[in-house]
Every structure is written in structure tokens, then in C-alpha cells.
Amino acid sequence: KQEVTQIPAALSVPEGENLVLNCSFTDSAIYNLQWFRQDPGKGLTSLLLIQSSQREQTSGRLNASLDKSSGRSTLYIAASQPGDSATYLCAVRDNYGQNFVFGPGTRLSVLP
């Protein structure tokens, strides 16, 4: 059964720092991997989607990488801002393309 973990569980950094969030999964037979952002009391906002055949995706200050063989993905946030404060979740979709398995999330605080 696929399991997804995220490290660290929480992170606090000063504004302007570059940072990396980690996501690990146990079964490398994935269809895709998606990073989301969740603000308190809100739904999930899609940030980046990486197909199983891709190595990375970029959107603005965000860059996500995927290493299927080692079961890992990283989300790199450049020049962090207080508005980046949120919980970041990764989710993997299995090769049957039906369900997502979510990690528990990393709670990020960017201090002004």
C-alpha cells in the first residue's frame, strides 16, 4: 500500500530565504505527483503537477523535482515571502490513475 511522508512537519524561516520541502513515497509505480498549498480553513490549491515521465516542473518561484526510482520529490521555493505561509501537501496518484494518496503536509511560516 502506498504511503507518503513529508519532512519537515513544520518549518519557520525569515523572509527572503530559499527553502526545500521534501516528499517521499514507498511505491515508485506512480502515475503523477502533485503539490498543493492549503491556507487555514480553505481548500487545496494546485501548485505543480509532475507526470511520472518528467523530472521537474517550474512555476514562478516554485520548482518541483521528481526522482521516481528513489521515491522522492522536492518542492523548492525561491526568495520566500510572508504570503507563502501555508501548509504544503504532496499527493501521488497510482498507475491505475484512480486515487491520490496524500502526505500529512509541511506547515510553513515565513517571518517578515
Position 51 contacts other proteins (CB under 8 A): yes
State the binding string over 11-40 for other proteins (x if CB under 8 A, else -): --------------------xx-x-x----
- Select the span of 12-20, 66-74, 78-86, 103-111 touching other proteins (CB under 8 A): 103-111
State the binding string over 67-96 for other proteins (x if CB under 8 A, else -): ----------------------x-x-x---
Residue of 45, 59, 70, 95 that binds other proteins (CB under 8 A): 45
Joined grid coordinates for residue 20 = 526545500
| Rounded Cα gap, residues 17 and 6, in angstroms | 20
Joined grid coordinates for residue 13 = 524561516
DSSP 8-state symbol, 18:
-
Residue with cell 507518503: 4
User: Which is closer to other proteins, CB of 18 or CB of 45?
Assistant: 45
Rg of the chain in Å (alpha carbons): 13
- Specify whether the CB–CB gap between 6 and 21 falls below 8 A: yes
- Specify whether the CB–CB gap between 103 and 89 falls below 8 A: yes
**Residues forming the site for other proteins (CB under 8 A):** 4, 31-32, 34, 36, 41-46, 49, 51, 89, 91, 93, 97-100, 102-105
